[in-house]
Structure 1
Amino acid sequence: MTTAPARPAAGDLAELRALKRSGELCGAADRVRTVLGALGDPVDREAAGALLGARAARTALAASGAFTPVPLALLASATADPVPPLLTTALLAEGVQPDTATTGFNQWRFEILTGAPTLREHGPAVTACLLDDSAVFEKVTDPLDADEVVARCAAFPAELAAWLDAYDRHVGTLAVLNTVPLGAARRDRWVDYATRARVEAAWQRMNAAVLDLAERPNTVVLSVDAVAERGGARWAATDRMRHIAAHAYGQEFLDAYAREVARVVLARLGRAKKCLVLDLDHTLWGGVVGDDGVGALKIGGAFPGSAHRELQSLAKDLSRQGVLLTVCSKNDEAVAREAIDTHPEMLLRTGDFTAFRANWDPKPGNAASMAAELNIGTDAMVFVDDNPAERGLMARQRPEVTVVDLPADPAGYASAVASAGFFNQLRLTDEDRTRGEMYRARAERERLRETVTDVEDYLRELGTEITVEEYGPLNGARIAQLFGKTNQFNLTGVRYGADELARRVDEGTAAFFGVRVTDAFGDNGLAGALALVREPDGAWLIENFVLSCRVFSRSVEDAIVGLVLRAARDAGAPAVRGRHVPTAKNGRFADFYPSLGFAGGQGPDGDFRHDLTQLAELPGWVRVGPGEGAFHAP
């Protein structure tokens, strides 16, 4: 959630309407995102989404080139009309433009079991299926027969599993389900406590089994209770809306649900945030270290020290799951470091931070310099600062940085950061868990670079080794993550989901590979991914090639393509083709294939071609570990 100057919602909606009427939406993408991010009332958010989801507005925003298009689908067992416009608002604010297909009332089961005619034509990357208790009770003949209701609860999770099987066959992309709340209108019909408790116990067992479905690939299950709590709203619709509009869920809950589905979509697109930028004074600790001294800081113990320590604990846990921690503080650096490393109640030490800025420079500039140091985009950062003025300055000068709107009471700091879900992933990989160590090792590499004057000497001392790994169950999640999250060295911009990778491997229409990179300072993990297909003339096509920014400028990419060329030649292929499709972030690699001896790139498909007659030497400072020659096209 990015803060913006407080203004009446009516003024924000009027501004959006004026931009639409004047035809200026195309050139106002940044302003549109800012306005949408500032809207807090669900009614206003729905109105904004409906306004910007209309055909003319959609066309104008798409023409701006500032939004990533994504097809979505929504199924439901009750009326859920507010969700698509609410999704539009939530995702446009993050630079993503959804196109959400829906089906008729309570068609969630029929749509999939009849072959998904609507969804197959639309091709959604994510399908959300919002269920309420009518999905369970529609097959109950006597709602007062506790035996029948308990049996129905026991059978429902298996029915959902069968539904997911059909969805995988007909659509095959990410599905989002939810636990099913038991409404008061059904629960309170039983007048004896014993029966009511028995049914509720069966209902809770049912929802536990529904949550277990998240173990399936390509399945996310949301807890309705958790979504409602994060949204600060009861889940149930008012009785009047139940009768008038067949709503099972209230407006505020539907807004919270749309935001949660938006987080799932962002994770699916590799748009989850990577870096937590933390202030120190009055944020990670209570007090001002430069004025009060280290011993007077409030950390741990009684409130408010307990609240600041809770935020540190959250940051520590996030770092263990791959989130990069950085410091951005108005402070003297030596004093700040002393406090971090000597205060006995500090949970975080300087070694936990991958970048550190404690100075008197403006924080937006410090954030940008840390992003450059870490080789990430500032749009991957989340800024946490107790000072509203600092938050406002960051929002104005670096609108792409996500700014957490902290409450005035530090007791709510940790909850505000955790509940926002900025760092949510579909699946956590080993590389995610060790990302902080990898970035600290990167800093050591940079220090080595500074001590060596000759680039080749530096690269040889670095001792880089690459190992090719073919796609499989142990590395599939990471390979999908690389395709989904890599933006700069992503030669075509194609993002394969885990579902598509598995399906195409099973079909034999593509081969996927990961490339592990190690060096003298440690293991960078799987840092590259490659997709190969065989074309009708026998040539190999590098359908896409991505490489993590942390291993740029070491000739790793040259070595990988060199291995592909040698494998293709040895397999008797007539040529290897590569493709560069320009995106907003990969322009610096437009000449990558020509630099390796590929010709062409001028045709309608933009393909480059290497005829395999003259292969350049592999970079001498990149060793090839076990797996050389493993590249192949199906």
Structure 2
Amino acid sequence: MTTAPARPAATGDLAELRALKRAGELGDAAHRVRAVLAALADPVDREAAGALLGARAARTALAESGAFTPFPLALLASSTADPVPPLLTAALLAEGVQPDTAVTGFNQWRVEILAGAPTLQDHGPAVTACLLDDTAVFEKVTDPLDADEVVARCAAFPGELAAWLDAYERHLGTLAVLNTVPLSAGRRDRYVDYATRARVEAAWQRMNAAVLDLAERPGTVVLSADAVAARAYTGWAATDRMRHIAAHAYGPEFLDAYAREVARVVLARLGRAAKCLVLDLDHTLWGGVVGDDGVGALKIGGAFPGSAHSELQRLAKDLSRQGVLLAVCSKNDDAVAREAIDTHPEMLLRTGDFAAFRANWDAKPGNLADIAAELNIGTDAMVFVDDNPAERALMARQRPEVAVVDLPADPAGYARALASCGRFGQLRLTEEDRGRGAMYRARAERERLRESTGGIEDYLRELDTVVTVEAHGPLNAARIAQLFGKTNQFNLTGIRYGADELARAVADGSAGCFGVRVTDAFGDNGLAAALTLVREPDGTWLIENFVLSCRVFSRSVEDAVVGLVLRAAREAGAPAVRGRHVPTAKNARFAGFYPALGFAGQDGDFRHDLTQLAELPAWVRIGPGEGTFHAP
């Protein structure tokens, strides 16, 4: 079994939270609350903190601060799961999200959903976690020693879960989180012969494999209980005493790890997956200090510790292949650092793998801000990896929004620490994600073209941008949902649709949903915009929301898209097109977007009467699909 990391000595963190609550200062200390929660390592302390901050007065103070994103959650379980809601509160508040978690009665997971979700309907959870233990399987077994009956039950259980998911989709229709079911020692070890025990375990593993296959369904996430237990280090089972006294199936460490994993699902649902991995060089990507030791003396590959540094590079490379941007932030001479990366024969990463590169003697928090500006992402979308505890502490203090990976002292654990941080999780990986590195390299080429041309219009004409409208369908549904979930700056209303919501709206005809693909002289930017259209009772088209990826800003793509909507609406005989701007923390710069395109109105509600339409941008060509916009 993997050894658990040593827990830090108890601090005054909980006492500080209590003092802030007593003084009525929780709302004014949101950053401190997040920092305290992030520092708590013991599940008991995290549960206590979650309970403290989940009480009514504390909830109100935190909500009124405006520093936390509200999020409705639900929890179902086949055993006692009372610690999970406060653990979820602690995990999510640390990430700037305030959950409102509805819980049903003991072992009501099946009845609640099959009966139409009477407890949860009004709550409207955006994510429902259903924590199952082996009681859910054995409660329909009449004789647990009858191996034939147990094997048959294992074969039937995944089908029952599929039917449960069908009912969940009908009654709630948002994201459902299931888990594989561990077989408890008490169930397994009652078989005295090894042959029967092996037969039951084989059937159990086949059952869990079929449960994992349910993740292929839209709107379903399945967590591996084994993976969660590995994060907990201590296994998954509750003590025998807690099993008898409180009907607990899972221990506190497992429940804490489970709550953290569900919190990561919530962050993915909110589009808050990290986009960029920022890596130190000396003693991190390689062993040694290149400025002192020279390139030839660096420890990379081969025997330990070089093998550990290569393992970290290999993981970074794999993350990059899945759309994570890589960046360097190192205290080094730029030329020396680049020489090491591009000439050492054991390096797995080369300078071309990095979207941004900062090797200098400036403070790393400032360098990280520069990298974020260069990539046009927020610093809250970055993960920082550095072997030096002092650099990590400085980053955590000056850039608390940056996810800092707590590396162990031994480089053997570097890759595991990064992999287990869980900051890059996506609900569905898209082709645009996989090609993000190439897109950013093409972006650098565009920037070089911009600098070499005389004016912005010359640059835009040479860029030769083409926009193509695509109706929502099986091949682009995941990316369209991702755009609505992840886009923050050009998100005109702040609405974040889930994949399930969009699929239902398109299927029942309540909205039209579209993606817009953008290509240019340097390649394919992928689906870079999305919008939804609704027909109002008088026939007016409403642009319910419109989002645009930051990678195609300032190229008139947004003007061309709305211009196409206006033309399609006029051709369809609509009396007008309405658009809205709802202020959020990050979209203020686009408050005048609709008025600039000829819409009239105020207070964020704008209307175009379709009598005079501005010309489409001359430097944007329209690809196949013009006129496909429609409001059902």
Paired position in structure 1 for 2:237: 236
Paired position in structure 2 for 1:624: 622
Paired position in structure 2 for 1:204: 205
Shift of 1:121: 1.2
Shift of 1:7: 8.1
1:436 paired with 2:434, answer no
Paired position in structure 1 for 2:470: 469
* Matching of residues 107-506 of structure 1 within 5 Å: 107-506=108-507
Partner amino acid, structure 2, of 1:69: P
Q: Quick one: distance in 1 between partners of 2:484 and 2:66?
A: 21
Q: Quick one: distance in 2 between partners of 1:520 and 1:52?
A: 53
Q: Quick one: distance in 1 between partners of 2:44 and 2:245?
A: 18
Shift of 1:8: 5.6
Per-residue CA deviations over 1:271-291 (Å, capped at 9, x if unaligned) read 100000000000000000111
5+ residue gaps, structure 1, are: 1-5
Shift of 1:231: 2.2
Per-residue CA deviations over 1:338-366 (Å, capped at 9, x if unaligned) read 11011110000000000000000100010
Look up the SS of the partner of 2:130 in the other structure.
strand
Look up the SS of the partner of 1:468 in the other structure.
strand
Shift of 1:9: 4.2
Q: Quick one: distance in 1 between partners of 2:363 and 2:171?
A: 53
Q: Quick one: distance in 2 between partners of 1:96 and 1:184?
A: 37
Partner amino acid, structure 1, of 2:344: H
Q: Quick one: distance in 2 between partners of 1:349 and 1:587?
A: 38
Choose from 606, 609, 625 the match for 1:608: 606
The answer as to whether partners of 1:9 and 1:44 remain within 8 angstroms in 2 is no
Per-residue CA deviations over 1:217-240 (Å, capped at 9, x if unaligned) read 111111111111022121000000
Shift of 1:205: 0.9
Per-residue CA deviations over 1:307-361 (Å, capped at 9, x if unaligned) read 0000000000000000000000000011111110111100000000000000001
Paired position in structure 2 for 1:21: 22
Partner amino acid, structure 2, of 1:172: G
The answer as to whether partners of 1:329 and 1:359 remain within 8 angstroms in 2 is yes
The answer as to whether partners of 1:157 and 1:210 remain within 8 angstroms in 2 is yes
Q: 101-110 or 444-453, which moves further after superposition?
A: 444-453
Partner amino acid, structure 1, of 2:619: W
Per-residue CA deviations over 1:54-99 (Å, capped at 9, x if unaligned) read 1111111111111111100000000000001000111111111100
Paired position in structure 2 for 1:34: 35
Shift of 1:524: 0.4
Shift of 1:10: 4.6
The answer as to whether partners of 1:125 and 1:173 remain within 8 angstroms in 2 is yes
Q: Quick one: distance in 2 between partners of 1:453 and 1:20?
A: 59
Partner amino acid, structure 2, of 1:553: S
Partner amino acid, structure 1, of 2:355: T
Per-residue CA deviations over 1:124-152 (Å, capped at 9, x if unaligned) read 11100000011011011111111111111
The answer as to whether partners of 1:156 and 1:206 remain within 8 angstroms in 2 is yes
Shift of 1:445: 1.0
Partner amino acid, structure 2, of 1:516: R
Q: Quick one: distance in 2 between partners of 1:154 and 1:615?
A: 62
Q: Quick one: distance in 1 between partners of 2:364 and 2:189?
A: 55
The answer as to whether partners of 1:42 and 1:252 remain within 8 angstroms in 2 is yes
Paired position in structure 2 for 1:73: 74
Per-residue CA deviations over 1:494-533 (Å, capped at 9, x if unaligned) read 0000000000111100000000011111110000000100
Partner amino acid, structure 2, of 1:215: E
Q: Quick one: distance in 1 between partners of 2:11 and 2:362?
A: 36
Q: Quick one: distance in 2 between partners of 1:200 and 1:423?
A: 33
The answer as to whether partners of 2:568 and 2:627 remain within 8 angstroms in 1 is yes
Shift of 1:19: 1.1
Q: 18-27 or 299-308, which moves further after superposition?
A: 18-27
Shift of 1:601: 2.3
Partner amino acid, structure 2, of 1:283: T
Q: 446-455 or 144-153, which moves further after superposition?
A: 446-455
Look up the SS of the partner of 2:122 in the other structure.
helix
Alignment root-mean-square deviation, CA? 0.9
The answer as to whether partners of 1:579 and 1:601 remain within 8 angstroms in 2 is no
Per-residue CA deviations over 1:460-518 (Å, capped at 9, x if unaligned) read 11111100001000000000000000000000000000000000111100000000011
The answer as to whether partners of 2:8 and 2:41 remain within 8 angstroms in 1 is no
The answer as to whether partners of 1:559 and 1:619 remain within 8 angstroms in 2 is yes
Look up the SS of the partner of 2:346 in the other structure.
coil
The answer as to whether partners of 1:310 and 1:414 remain within 8 angstroms in 2 is yes
**Runs of 4 or more consecutive aligned structure 1 residues displaced over 3 Å after TM superposition:** 6-10
The answer as to whether partners of 1:172 and 1:500 remain within 8 angstroms in 2 is yes
Paired position in structure 2 for 1:534: 535
Paired position in structure 1 for 2:597: 596
Partner amino acid, structure 1, of 2:506: V
* TM-score, with structure 1 as normaliser: 0.98
Partner amino acid, structure 2, of 1:458: Y
Partner amino acid, structure 2, of 1:618: L
Q: Quick one: distance in 2 between partners of 1:231 and 1:574?
A: 59
Paired position in structure 2 for 1:3: none
Look up the SS of the partner of 1:120 in the other structure.
coil
Look up the SS of the partner of 2:119 in the other structure.
helix
Partner amino acid, structure 2, of 1:191: V
Q: Quick one: distance in 2 between partners of 1:9 and 1:33?
A: 18
Shift of 1:578: 0.2
The answer as to whether partners of 2:127 and 2:174 remain within 8 angstroms in 1 is yes
Q: Quick one: distance in 2 between partners of 1:80 and 1:242?
A: 12
Q: 55-64 or 249-258, which moves further after superposition?
A: 55-64
Q: Quick one: distance in 2 between partners of 1:133 and 1:73?
A: 21
Look up the SS of the partner of 2:367 in the other structure.
helix
Q: Quick one: distance in 2 between partners of 1:549 and 1:198?
A: 54
Look up the SS of the partner of 2:328 in the other structure.
strand
Q: Quick one: distance in 1 between partners of 2:145 and 2:30?
A: 54
Q: Quick one: distance in 2 between partners of 1:231 and 1:468?
A: 46
Partner amino acid, structure 2, of 1:497: G
- State the identity as a percent: 86
5+ residue gaps, structure 2, are: 1-6
Q: Quick one: distance in 2 between partners of 1:342 and 1:8?
A: 44
Shift of 1:453: 3.0
Look up the SS of the partner of 1:117 in the other structure.
coil
1:570 paired with 2:571, answer yes
